[in-house]
Amino acid sequence: MSAPLPDRHPVPTDGVRAAFDAVYNWNYEPEIDELRTLYANALDRQWIAMKQLDWARPIDRDAFSRTFSLGGIPIQHTEFWKNLEPGLRWEVARRSAAFMLSNFLHGEQGALMVAAQLVNAVPDMDGKFYAATQTLDEARHVEVFAAYIEKLGTVVPIAPGLKRLLDDVLAAEDWKLKAVGMQVVTEGLALYSFRDMRNTTKEPLLKEMLTYVSRDEARHTGFGIKYLNHVVPTLSDAERATIEDFAFEAARNLLDSRRGGTMRESVLALWKEAGLDPIWAIGEIAKERETVAAALAQSGGMRGPVRGFVIPTLKAIGLFSPRIGHHFDEMFRSNIGPDIGSTLDDPYALPEDLEAWVESAA
Ligand SMILES: [Fe+2]
Ligand SMILES: [Fe+2]
């Protein structure tokens, strides 16, 4: 008699029911040159995470905590941050970063699953080829974020807003909704955040890892832009409106503090656990708001990832009508204040070469 199978199943799982058409394409000739070029470029730029980065290197704690940017808020420039006792500063930075990087990690898992769905769901062979390379890229991103977080401590559970967003994108039936939710909104926010962290940190392993990851993400955003640009002009007004609504809901899941459970609230709770009173800390940072504003102006960060990147992307692909612009304006007004101006008047344009932009300082 053979030995019984090891008792491994069922394993506890979390999931969402996904129903979409898996689409064949019997034409194997290249049809959308831009996507075929992007695919060739992706093959050329593959990297092997465990070979090309030095994982034996311990985290440089001092560099890490001195140059820690809190999700785009440059607290590292304040006297408050510089004068924190180094042990406490490391602990606050470590816990905040474990939270942020854990959510990047969970987002990467979502991206991995959505990219695999896109291989099935997109109708064009060039799109399937490209999505196949992205699937491998995202697996590598899950691998590297998990490896880095292991050096920082434990993985923090996914933030509720990000989970809602990933569930919605995975469950969407139409590949165009998946593309706008993942490639444009999620990847756009991720690319902006990774680039910000990459440009700020002086911790060598984190910087190197984010450089590689951001190059890949620049391609992923490029895929969303190029593919949707090809498709959006062929849609009816009603179809376009559905995609715009989906993009807005995706952004709202992550950003709208009226829904509660924002990233900011979670990070402040972690500060408290680390031994830093968040109310006192915010008061101290507020005393230096001019320093923070000057640093933000320098990095172009005043715009933030949505106004500075996601909305310009939506505009570039014809998915930002006045109707949806007003929804965004209303969200920003209630979250930030009445004087923020209209997104419809914003002059921000996307950088022409996203990959070059990733490695530019500002
Ligand atoms: Fe990724
Ligand atoms: Fe990606």
Dihedral sign from CA coordinates of 279, 285, 288, 290: negative
Cα separation, 288 vs 75, whole angstroms: 9
Cα separation, 26 vs 248, whole angstroms: 35
Q: What would the mean pLDDT of 200-228 be, rounded to a whole number?
A: 95
Cα(108) to ligand 1 centroid in Å equals: 5
Q: What would the mean pLDDT of 329-350 be, rounded to a whole number?
A: 86
Q: What is the mean pLDDT of the chain?
A: 91
Cα(267) to ligand 1 centroid in Å equals: 22
> What confidence score (pLDDT) does residue 355 get?
85
List residues bridging with 73 in a β-sheet: 70
Cα separation, 353 vs 38, whole angstroms: 13
In terms of pLDDT, which residue wins out, 340 or 165?
165
Range of lowest pLDDT (103-112, 116-125, 150-159, 163-172):
150-159
Tens-digit pLDDT profile for residues 69-115: 776 678 888 999 999 999 999 999 999 999 999 999 999 999 999 99
List residues bridging with 192 in a β-sheet: none
Cα(278) to ligand 1 centroid in Å equals: 31
Name the band, by pLDDT with cuts 50, 70 and 90, for residue 349: confident
> What confidence score (pLDDT) does residue 9 get?
66
Cα(168) to ligand 2 centroid in Å equals: 17
Cα(252) to ligand 2 centroid in Å equals: 20
Which residue type is seen at 196?
Answer: D
Instruction: Give the global pTM.
Output: 0.93
> What confidence score (pLDDT) does residue 338 get?
81
Cα(240) to ligand 2 centroid in Å equals: 23
Tens-digit pLDDT profile for residues 14-31: 899 998 999 999 999 999
> What confidence score (pLDDT) does residue 102 get?
95
Cα separation, 196 vs 357, whole angstroms: 11
Contacts of residue 110, defined as CB under 8 A and 6 or more positions apart, other chains included, come to: 162, 165, 166, 169, 170, 182, 186
Query: To the nearest whole percent, how much of the chain has pLDDT over 70?
Result: 94
Task: With a cut of 70, say whether residue 265 has pLDDT above it.
Answer: yes
Cα(59) to ligand 2 centroid in Å equals: 25
Question: 3-state secondary structure string, 148-197?
Answer: HHHHHCCCCCCCHHHHHHHHHHHHCCCHHHHHHHHHHHHHHHHHHHHHHH
| Paired tokens of 274 | 């680390």
Name the band, by pLDDT with cuts 50, 70 and 90, for residue 224: very high
Query: To the nearest whole percent, how much of the chain has pLDDT over 90?
Result: 69
Classify burial at 171, counting beta carbons within 10 Å of its beta carbon; exposed 0-12, middle 13-18, buried 19 or more. middle
| Paired tokens of 100 | 């942020």
Cα(173) to ligand 1 centroid in Å equals: 22
Ligand that comes closest to the CA of residue 213: 1
Name the band, by pLDDT with cuts 50, 70 and 90, for residue 260: low
Task: With a cut of 60, say whether residue 261 has pLDDT above it.
Answer: yes
The most confident of 249-263, 285-299, 312-326, by mean pLDDT: 312-326
Ligand that comes closest to the CA of residue 187: 2
Contacts of residue 339, defined as CB under 8 A and 6 or more positions apart, other chains included, come to: none
Give yes or no for a contact between 347 and 267, defined as CB atoms under 8 angstroms apart: no
> What confidence score (pLDDT) does residue 336 get?
79
Cα(183) to ligand 2 centroid in Å equals: 7
Which residue type is seen at 42?
Answer: A
Ligand that comes closest to the CA of residue 139: 1
> What confidence score (pLDDT) does residue 1 get?
57
| Paired tokens of 229 | 């640009």
Ligand that comes closest to the CA of residue 223: 2
Give yes or no for a contact between 272 and 147, defined as CB atoms under 8 angstroms apart: no
Range of lowest pLDDT (74-83, 112-121, 261-270):
261-270
Cα(211) to ligand 1 centroid in Å equals: 12
Cα(281) to ligand 1 centroid in Å equals: 33
Cα separation, 292 vs 164, whole angstroms: 32
Dihedral sign from CA coordinates of 269, 77, 72, 50: negative
| Paired tokens of 179 | 């593309």
Cα(19) to ligand 1 centroid in Å equals: 23
Ligand that comes closest to the CA of residue 138: 1
Give yes or no for a contact between 190 and 217, defined as CB atoms under 8 angstroms apart: yes
Cα(205) to ligand 2 centroid in Å equals: 20
Cα separation, 174 vs 178, whole angstroms: 7
Q: Which residue has the tokens 């807003």?
A: 161
Cα(107) to ligand 1 centroid in Å equals: 8
Ligand that comes closest to the CA of residue 131: 2
Cα(215) to ligand 1 centroid in Å equals: 10
Cα(75) to ligand 2 centroid in Å equals: 27
Cα(111) to ligand 2 centroid in Å equals: 6
Range of lowest pLDDT (63-72, 299-308, 314-323, 347-356):
299-308
Name the band, by pLDDT with cuts 50, 70 and 90, for residue 302: low
Cα(138) to ligand 1 centroid in Å equals: 5
Cα separation, 243 vs 195, whole angstroms: 27
Helix or strand or coil: residue 70? Answer: strand
Helix or strand or coil: residue 73? Answer: strand
Task: Assign residue 261 a region (left: φ > 0; alpha: ψ between -120 and 50; beta: otherwise).
Answer: left
Cα separation, 198 vs 35, whole angstroms: 27
